[in-house]
A and B are shown apart, each in its own frame.
Chain A
């Protein structure tokens, strides 16, 4: 009976081989698709068990942290609530919601087990602890900017123009990160990040870009004289200066100081579409900024067609009204971040740095595992051009439309904007101010905008906010 016994045993061996084969199927071959299966609650539970790292401001203020929950799970808490709402964002594993830095820096915050800790994790288990993310954000300046906006819809963005570090990013309306779906600060509740997603008319602040194209291309100098008559026919439609003032022949410097529309329309037309588009691209227009926020929370700044629905013009499109684009109208829609980048490039001798929010990443052992190095986005203009435009922008604050930004002991270079919005004849405006300080040794660039005012001028409404925030940033500077 020996042979049949061996055969029966062989059958049992085959059956066990089947068991091992099927176990391999679930543990190895089909494992990934099983883990990704929407019915699999483990995926969410495993994520809940990760002790995500903290997000901190540049002074060490905790902006986001993990709080232990039941059964070795963790939930997120945002001690500063609505202060950095859209920028810090939120991460709620249970509902699968995530936004802002919580989403874009998720790989650091979740942590990655490598080396020895991975092996120990295999044997004994333990909680996966994420890395702490130190941001470039300045709580003091942020708080002040938020106060000065006083609940009005709008945005303040401030950058360290030497490095691209974002110091202030205020967006109103905002929300409490602890409860993003709850009541928010304004009736028109939205989670849109105004600073990076707005589609706002930049108005005269865009004249800095036009000036750059005009001077850096060599076609004009600050002293070139252009006729500032009003009105001027631009693309077949009359264009007026503020108050329909006829300025007569003026230098480009004077035209910027007093924001003379008709001169700037001529500059843009004379420079031409191709050159204007080239300089806009160098400043970062036409593409989403390479900032470390989720791409879906970013918008590109560019001219849009007047058609319904409106769509972006292809760069350098012959259908653009380049004259009006030259004064920040003509369908041009921008983000506050983009306008801060414009000021930053001028302040940094023509070099535009990539804006970034993450400064460095520290692992649970206290070792800094990543430091974000400043990166050049583009060389927008020659240093000499930048210095010339800096002097012109200084004049704007000292003598022209931006005198409210004057800090007295610290010199500010800037440009105001008062974009007409709404129907013709309405007094609705969007006031702007962009600039940098100190003018002789620029450190910080800023853009301030308030979405809608009744006849408010950029030099009156936005400039004081900008100067106050710049002063805070400069006084808080260490070393």
Chain B
């Protein structure tokens, strides 16, 4: 069977899921299975099929499992969002259309993605500018104390982090392909290679940038995501564990200092350490409120091993519109998934991500040039780290930050950026698997 036919067959689980999911939501609402729901499912499957046709036409050798896995996650996302708020689901479907257009545009426009290397500094500067946009007065939007979004009322709202992460990965992959040889040729002190500052400088800049994100944007999650991707690419490029160790220590020290001195981050850490403290829960402590995190844990406890069933989670306080679990369709969607599908359902979602990431790393191994390898490593790592940051926040592994759960959370920026990320991975994969 050809790779493309395998991909087509791979869409069957997604189609089953979207059908079963919508049916489940409707049975729960004790309505008949209406035409609207079937239309929804059909349109969404049609979109997935369209995506497949684009790949079939342009990337005949690309990995056959990535797109079906993304389709599965997206279909799962649309069902979850539909169950939470049907208006959001319609918007999400529209974003998905736009995302697929950009997905196709990326594939067509960057067939030879290696030309991206030429623009690496431009890309780096644009990404940096994007990151800083939320601090610009008038358009910046502060959510829960973190500067995460750009918001022009009535025009649009977007989360620049989602796009900036791709730019940074491209820059790092390109830069480290050039400098990886010289980075390892430094003097050795105490068994640690100190690379020439001239070449290591830009890497230090990225470290500084991660700290700046923490300090200026108050965004622990994005900082961790960017910095983790840097370390992953750096390690693959140089094979020097010492760089990673030094990098982790430097990040730890910086994060510790900022955590203790920036009140907003300090509050996040307090909420993380004591989410069930009554004062923190009721927001009576200075600037800290653990209500969201505590209710995330309560929601997961309500789900138990197998969950309460599709559409069963309690999201608002009965008789009111007050949220019991704030931001259920974005930051907290993993808690809703756990509530409704339990440990098993949530683990299945995580394993689907892990399979997607595994295909990304497989692509990195197969790639024939260093830039392709580093790009695939960076994109896969940043995807994995984004899942870790938000799910880790929701499950209290790390302090909670509002990043989206890729392909599942409601949000245009997230779905578009991650489809572009997928397009890049498929481009790398097609080239790597093309018969010589």
A residues near B (Cβ < 8 Å) are 1-9, 11-13, 15-16, 18-20, 22-28, 30-32, 34-35, 37, 39-42, 45-46, 48-49, 69-73, 121-126
Mostly, the B contact residues are helix
Partner of B235, one of A8, A20, A34, A71: A8
Q: How far is the CA of A25 from the CA of B309 in the complex (A)?
A: 20
Shortest CB-to-CB span from B238 to chain A, Å, is: 8
Q: Report whether B306 and A122 are in contact in the complex, using a CB–CB cutoff of 8 Å.
A: yes
- Among the listed stretches B140-148, B197-205, B356-364, which one makes contact with chain A, having 4 or more residues with CB under 8 Å of it? B356-364
Q: Does B212 contact A (CB under 8 A)?
A: no
Q: How far is the CA of A46 from the CA of B307 in the complex (A)?
A: 14
Q: Report whether A42 and B388 are in contact in the complex, using a CB–CB cutoff of 8 Å.
A: no
Determine the residue in chain B with the shortest Cβ distance to A69: B319
Shortest CB-to-CB span from A47 to chain B, Å, is: 11
Q: Given A5-B373, A46-B314, are A124 and B353 also a contact pair (CB < 8 Å)?
A: no
- Give chain B interface residues in 212-253, CB to chain A under 8 Å: 232, 235-237, 239
Q: Report whether B361 and A8 are in contact in the complex, using a CB–CB cutoff of 8 Å.
A: yes
Q: Given A1-B370, A23-B338, A39-B281, are A28 and B239 also a contact pair (CB < 8 Å)?
A: no
- Among the listed stretches B61-69, B263-271, B294-302, which one makes contact with chain A, having 4 or more residues with CB under 8 Å of it? B294-302
Interface residues on B, range: 35 or more
Q: Given A8-B361, A19-B388, A22-B395, are A71 and B319 also a contact pair (CB < 8 Å)?
A: yes
Determine the residue in chain A with the shortest Cβ distance to B391: A19
Q: Report whether A37 and B276 are in contact in the complex, using a CB–CB cutoff of 8 Å.
A: yes
Q: Given A8-B235, A9-B361, are A42 and B300 also a contact pair (CB < 8 Å)?
A: no
Residues on the A chain within 8 Å of B304, using CB: 27-28, 31
Q: How far is the CA of A73 from the CA of B318 in the complex (A)?
A: 7
Residues on the A chain within 8 Å of B232, using CB: 8, 11
Q: Report whether A121 and B309 are in contact in the complex, using a CB–CB cutoff of 8 Å.
A: yes
Q: Does B24 contact A (CB under 8 A)?
A: yes
Q: How far is the CA of A26 from the CA of B299 in the complex (A)?
A: 9
Shortest CB-to-CB span from A27 to chain B, Å, is: 4
Q: Report whether A125 and B309 are in contact in the complex, using a CB–CB cutoff of 8 Å.
A: yes
Which of A23, A39, A71 has its CB near the most chain B CB atoms (within 10 A)?
A23
Q: Which 10 A-B pairs have the closest CB atoms?
A: A34-B301, A71-B318, A70-B319, A26-B300, A22-B395, A125-B309, A125-B312, A31-B301, A27-B343, A12-B384
Q: How far is the CA of A30 from the CA of B370 in the complex (A)?
A: 46
Determine the residue in chain A with the shortest Cβ distance to B314: A45
Which of B298, B307, B358, B396 has its CB near the most chain A CB atoms (within 10 A)?
B298
Q: Given A31-B301, A125-B310, are A18 and B338 also a contact pair (CB < 8 Å)?
A: no
12 new A-B contacts at CB < 8 Å, known A1-B373, A4-B239, A28-B305: A1-B237, A1-B364, A4-B236, A8-B236, A16-B353, A19-B392, A23-B391, A35-B302, A48-B318, A122-B306, A124-B27, A124-B310
Which of B302, B350, B384 has its CB near the most chain A CB atoms (within 10 A)?
B302
Q: How far is the CA of A70 from the CA of B314 in the complex (A)?
A: 13
Determine the residue in chain A with the shortest Cβ distance to B376: A5
Q: Given A20-B350, A26-B300, A27-B342, are A125 and B317 also a contact pair (CB < 8 Å)?
A: no
Residues on the A chain within 8 Å of B396, using CB: 22, 26
Q: Report whether A125 and B354 are in contact in the complex, using a CB–CB cutoff of 8 Å.
A: no
Shortest CB-to-CB span from A435 to chain B, Å, is: 51
Q: How far is the CA of A210 from the CA of B71 in the complex (A)?
A: 85
Q: How far is the CA of A222 from the CA of B24 in the complex (A)?
A: 77
Residues on the A chain within 8 Å of B310, using CB: 123-125
Q: Given A37-B298, A39-B294, A73-B319, are A9 and B358 also a contact pair (CB < 8 Å)?
A: yes
Q: Report whether B324 and A42 are in contact in the complex, using a CB–CB cutoff of 8 Å.
A: yes
Residues on the A chain within 8 Å of B27, using CB: 124
Determine the residue in chain B with the shortest Cβ distance to A127: B30
Q: Given A9-B357, A27-B343, A35-B302, are A70 and B384 also a contact pair (CB < 8 Å)?
A: no
Determine the residue in chain B with the shortest Cβ distance to A2: B365
Q: How far is the CA of A161 from the CA of B27 in the complex (A)?
A: 51
Q: How far is the CA of A121 from the CA of B180 in the complex (A)?
A: 58
Interface CB pairs A-B, < 8 A, 16: A2-B365, A11-B232, A12-B357, A19-B392, A22-B395, A27-B304, A27-B343, A28-B343, A35-B302, A39-B298, A42-B299, A45-B318, A121-B309, A122-B308, A124-B24, A124-B309
